[in-house]
Structure 1
Amino acid sequence: MSGTTYTASVRYSTRVLLLQLATVVAVVAVCAGVFSWITYDRLRDSAADNATSIARSIAAAPQVREAVAARTGQSGRSDPADTPLQDYAADAAARTGALFVVVTDARGIRLAHPDPSLIGERVSTSHDAALRGEEVTAWESGTLGTSVRAKVPVFAPGTGQPVGEVSVGFRPAHVFSGLPKLLAAVGAAAAGAVVLGLAATVLMRRRWEHVTLGLQPEEMAELVRAQAAVLEGVDDGVLSLDNAAVVQLANSRAGSLLGVEDAVGRNFTDLGLPEDAVRDLLAGRSRDQVVVGDKVLYLDAHPVHRHGRPLGTVIVVRDRTDLTALSRRLGTVRALGGALRVQRHEFANRIHVAAGLLDAGRDDDARAFLREMEQRGPVDFPLVDAALLAEPFLQSFLGAKSVEAAERGVTLRVGPDTLVLGTVGPVNAVEDVATVLGNLVDNAVAAAAGGAAAGEYAAGGYAAVSRRELPETRGVSSRGEGARRAVGGPWVEVTALQDADSLVLTVADSGPGLVPAAGGVPVRATEAVSGPARGVAPDSPDSPDPPDSADHTDTPVDRVHGHGIGLTLSRDLARRRNGELWLIDPGGDGTGAVFGVRLPGVFATETSTETTDAVETTVTFRDDADGRGER
């Protein structure tokens, strides 16, 4: 905006002020002029009516009618001193304030006039209308000057024949004597209206400057163009909030990420975000690892000020789902790589031992050592009952996880109900199994190690799964026999079953079970798996510490991955394979939570049929008195 040059030398608000002021002055002037003209016209009409009334009363007087009728029949000049009509007319003019009262006969000869020297002479204006019996009012000029005058016929007594006229006139000064005061009042009112208009215009100008922040229309138009280009040209979501937290502006990307069709006009607290995240964002603090539906979002808050005045908050919404998923896959690959390195190193050491025994001629000891290595596997992972799991990938992966769990003082074991006869493949299936199983194991290890509930690590993620039994798995119990075995110290148990080409996993832990999350919102085990999962990972930088995890310190992997975020991703991966993730048992009262997951299509197709038959013929289940199955 600084590089834009505007040609207008006068500010827009000043131009509006001058235009409004000119409009007010013009309107007031027109109104005052019209009012003055109407008043002037009414004064003229009133004076004419007054003159007509006086002339009628004089013309109707009996002595006037008789005198005019008698004079009409005579000839010669009348004597003013001998004319009683002159005295009557002079007295009427004095009483009414008229300029003149003139009485004439039928020939227009004056019988009465303010100037006695003009009596007996013909009038200077026409008297024909009066002789026709008509009344006339007009502004005319005569011997006494310009005046408004009324001419009324005088009728002869008893006959009704016009025999003369009475003319009454008023001078203009008398007619418009009150007009100056009236015009002064009109002028004062007009001036007051102009002053009020000026004051209102100034207030409007100040309000305009306040509302527009001093921006000119050209600047606002360019801002709108730039705003549209920026909002629709970025891949991030953008929300603009006013000081009341009402969304004033939102691009389509923001609605897509938040799962809201029309956010404009709605309060920010009504968009379905967690309450603690909303509080932080409105306070100007950014939030990471916010789970909204099937997305992991980063919300960046930027308070906006202009000239020291707060204008609101701009919130940038970024999708971190793919980045989080990639980070988890990378963590899985690193774990597998570490396990392979350990395996290679340990295997090399054992080969050296076997070679040493052979070189020493101790063939029997070498054979025994190799048979033991064949039974125990190439590496001694701290995975309890690892022999129950023959599938190479699952055994290696859980072995690597058992090393991580052992570092945190947690025992990872394979459930006694485990039975997998096939081999996990291809590569995408291996990645999905590693991600889903790794997330569940990580959450369970964290819950068991820290004494915190799994629900606290899944703020919104665990709320998205439903409590139900394993689907279509022929009587698998919600908590295996191994999960009930007394073991000293925290533990996590993984049970794996193959059902055709599907892998069914259950993960149990010794934690306290699901309890209300750190934000105070309880995790509900009855919510549907298809329902929206909204929450914040409590291990994000801005989230509060879980109340029961004061002694727990997250590893770097925990800080990168985030516990309820992984559950959301695991749920999405299961859905993509037409599988599902659900809560089997929320735990509590000294027992941990149990989660189940079904992942179809992770085993080779050609082995699925024979594997199913083997499962059906080899494994049988019964329910004991506690409702937990035994093999």
Structure 2
Amino acid sequence: MQRSAPRPPLRFSTQTLLLQVAVVLLVVLLSAAVHAWLTYDRVGSEAENQALTLARTVASDPSVREDVLAISRQPGTPPPAELAAGPLMREAEAARVRTGALFVVITDETGLRLAHPDPERLGEKVSTDPTEALAGREVTTRNTGTLGPSAGAKVPVYSPDSTAVVGEVSVGYSMETVGQSVARDIGPVAVTAAGALLAGVLGSFLLRRRLQRLTLGLEPEEISMLVHDQVAVLQGVDDGVIGISADGRISVFNAAAQRLLDLPDLAGTRWEDAPVPDQLKSLTRPGPAGTDALEIVAGGRVLVANARKALHRREDLGWVVMLRDRTELQELTRQLDAVGTMSTALRAQRHEFANQLHTLAGFMSIGQHHQAREYLSRLAATGPLKFPVEQAELLQDPYLQAFVGAKGVEADERGVALRIGPETLVRGQVTEAQDVTTVLGNLIDNAVNAAVAGSAEDRWVELEVLDAPGDDGGTLHVVVADSGDGLAEGTDAEAVFAEGFTTATGPLSRNVRAGGGQGFGLALARQLARRRGGDVTVLDPGSRGGPGAVFMATLPHTTAGSHTAKIPGVTGKDNDG
């Protein structure tokens, strides 16, 4: 026998709708029941009060009191026929007919009926306990007698000339009449309850629709899984991710974004009020933003940022801003450029060395041994290789010598002479090669660009480096001057450190494409220096025709004594100073 496939469970929104409808139905039914009970009790109480009033009226009638006293004094009780034709029967029936009561019963002091709507019941004991009334107390009751269920009252009948109780009057109104009254009143209650139930069902349906819209039709299990996946992905990637909701608040600010921007978690902050670079905010503003990448400098890093609009079907979910760290890539690019430059220089020097060997071979082949010895002596005195940086020996650190030498070869190829100033003296060794390379390389590159773009015929860049010892590491002071035309007239000295500014072309467009790498050297150099407790400043803005601008950088804790510091990856003897 083939088993049928199990039914899929109801969706959460459907379960919520059914639960809400059940709750509304239960509340309406309970409210209607309570209202009906209160109405029934109220109408019953009104019937009791009405019965009490009528009983008092009949019991206080002087003729009734005299007639009851007269019968009580007789030995025994008159026969039913006599009672039916007596005055008490007429008084009781007149009151019952006049008020619409179910019964008006009059008894003697022993509880025997002297007046009753059913003549056959006359002379019999009343069906309900008359003790309270015969004891002189008025009571209201709800009970079932010979005429059916009723709400009534019992009142004692006193002797005309004393306070002695000679009988009691019992009046009752039919509970069926009370039920009919309740039924008349319950109609509006039922209509109101039905309206409330309909409104509750409609509200539950609308709430279900809104819940589906807010959860994008996802079940709670799916939402929980998405949250776990989001946390795992966003906190596990190296790229910074910033999510901006449609209402302009930051909804996601992952750990990588906090690290790259050097900021705490900004989730919940308004995007326009967030302490992030203004270039990032411009990506999400109206316009062509989000189509190109944007390079910014933040937290001592060069970042590439782009923004994309987030859409789900036709619903606008906001923006997603991605941040990628290009600092290490730029460092590797500079190192690769330096290696390429040194390779070019070595190839040229290899060619020169080959020519020198050919010269020696020529002397030996023609027997000019004396000339060969003199030629070798001159080579030993001057060195076989040419280094295009004057006074490079003042940089006793081998790392600085190699780096400045590579920059000198590169500058020489562009027609710029890189020279070391006479005030230069570095006796220690560099311990923070990456920061020193970044700051020094950017200053030299900017100076070379300015010298090439300048109007002076003699193009040069002069570098002065001085290290000052300290207890926790020496401070490296760097001064770079060039032969360019200096800063443009009216340019603020602080403006050159803004992102997107270059000494060659002035302010650049904010929408620099990734990989351009222009306009960020000075900004990055200053941020790195300030992060170490130093700074990069403009000493002299320069003048047109030269000399050009003069920049100074201070890099604390970047050198150590020549006998105590070693630079990873650099071999050779330590300098004595």
SS at match of 1:104: strand
Equivalence map 1:319-398=2 (5 Å): 319-349=325-355, 387=390, 389=392, 393=402, 396-398=405-407
Bigger RCO of structures 1 and 2 (CA < 8 A, at least 6 apart): 1
Q: How many percent identity over aligned positions? A: 35
1:156-235 equivalences under 5 Å are 156-235=159-238
Q: Give me the whole-angstrom Cα distance separating, in 2, the residues matched to 1:12 and 1:194.
A: 22
Correspondence list, 1:491-506, <5 A: 491-497=459-465, 504-506=477-479
Partner residue of 1:583? Answer: 537
Greater displacement, 185-194 / 11-20:
185-194
Partner of 1:3: none
Counterpart among 91, 95, 99 of residue 102 in structure 2: 99
Q: Is the 8 A contact 2:248 2:270 kept in 1?
A: yes
| Alpha-carbon distance, 1:259 to partner | 0.8
Distance 1:84 1:401 in 2: 141
C-alpha change, 1:193 and 1:60, in structure 2 (3 Å) is: same
- Indicate if the aligned counterparts of 1:93 and 1:99 stay in contact, CA closer than 8 A: yes
Q: How big is each residue's C-alpha offset from its partner over 1:50-104, in whole Å with a ceiling of 9 and x where there is no partner?
A: 1112101110111111111112222533636863333332332232221222223
Contact 2:295 2:304 in 1 (8 A): yes
> Structure 2 counterpart of 1:319, which letter?
D
Q: Per-residue deviation at 1:162?
A: 1.2
- In structure 2, what is the equivalent of residue 402 of structure 1? 411
- The range that moved more, 365-374 or 27-36, is 365-374
The answer to which of 171-180 and 157-166 deviates more is 171-180
1:438 aligns with 2:446: no
Give the aligned residue type for 1:113: H
- Is 1:273 matched up with 2:276? yes
| Partner in structure 2 of residue 529 of structure 1 | none
Equivalent in 411, 417, 420 of residue 412 of structure 1? 417
Contact 2:58 2:64 in 1 (8 A): yes
- Provide the residue aligned with 1:262 in structure 2: 265
Q: Deviations over 1:198-238 (max 9, x none)?
A: 12211211111111111101101111222222233333333
Note the alpha carbon deviations across 1:423-454, whole angstroms, 9 max, x for none.
Answer: 9979x898876654432221123344457xxx
Q: What does 1:36-55 align with in structure 2 at a 5 Å threshold?
A: 36-55=36-55
Consecutive unaligned residues of structure 2, counting only runs of 5 or more, are 1-5, 395-400, 470-474, 565-572
Aligned to 1:265, the other structure's residue is in SS state: coil
Query: Where does 1:267-306 land on structure 2 (aligned, <5 Å)?
Result: 267-280=270-283, 283-285=289-291, 287=293, 289-306=295-312
SS at match of 1:79: helix
CA offsets per residue over residues 543-582 of structure 1, 9 Å max, x none?
Answer: xx965679xxx9x9x957545247636874x789x89552
Q: Compared with structure 1, are the counterparts of its residues 108 and 488 closer, same or farther at alpha carbon in structure 2 (3 Å cutoff)?
A: closer
CA distance in 2, matches of 1:40, 1:429: 94
Task: Name the count of aligned residue pairs.
Answer: 538
SS in 2 for 1:41: helix
SS in 2 for 1:158: coil
Deviation larger for 329-338 or 134-143: 134-143
Greater CA deviation, 586-595 or 199-208? 586-595
Contact (CA 8 Å) 2:408, 2:418: kept in 1 or not? no
1:87 matched to 2:90? The reply is: yes
| SS, match of residue 176 in structure 1 | helix
Seen in structure 2, the aligned counterparts of structure 1 residues 563 and 332 have a Cα distance that, compared at 3 Å, is farther
1:58–1:419 CA distance, 2 compared to 1 (3 A): closer
User: Which one is further off, 81-90 or 187-196?
Assistant: 81-90
Which range is displaced more, 503-512 or 76-85? 76-85
Q: TM-score of the superposition, structure 1-length normalised?
A: 0.71
TM-score scaled by structure 2?
0.77
In the alignment, is the contact (CA less than 8 A) between 1:48 and 1:137 conserved in 2? yes
Matches of 1:85 and 1:567, distance apart in 2: 118
AA aligned opposite 1:494: E
Aligned to 1:513: 487
Please provide the CA RMSD for this pair.
4.5
Counterparts of 2:377 and 2:533, CA distance in 1: 41
SS in 2 for 1:291: strand
Distance 1:269 1:605, change over 3 A: farther
Equivalent position amino acid for 2:43 in 1: L
Corresponding position of 2:397: none
Which residue pairs with 2:69 in the alignment? 69
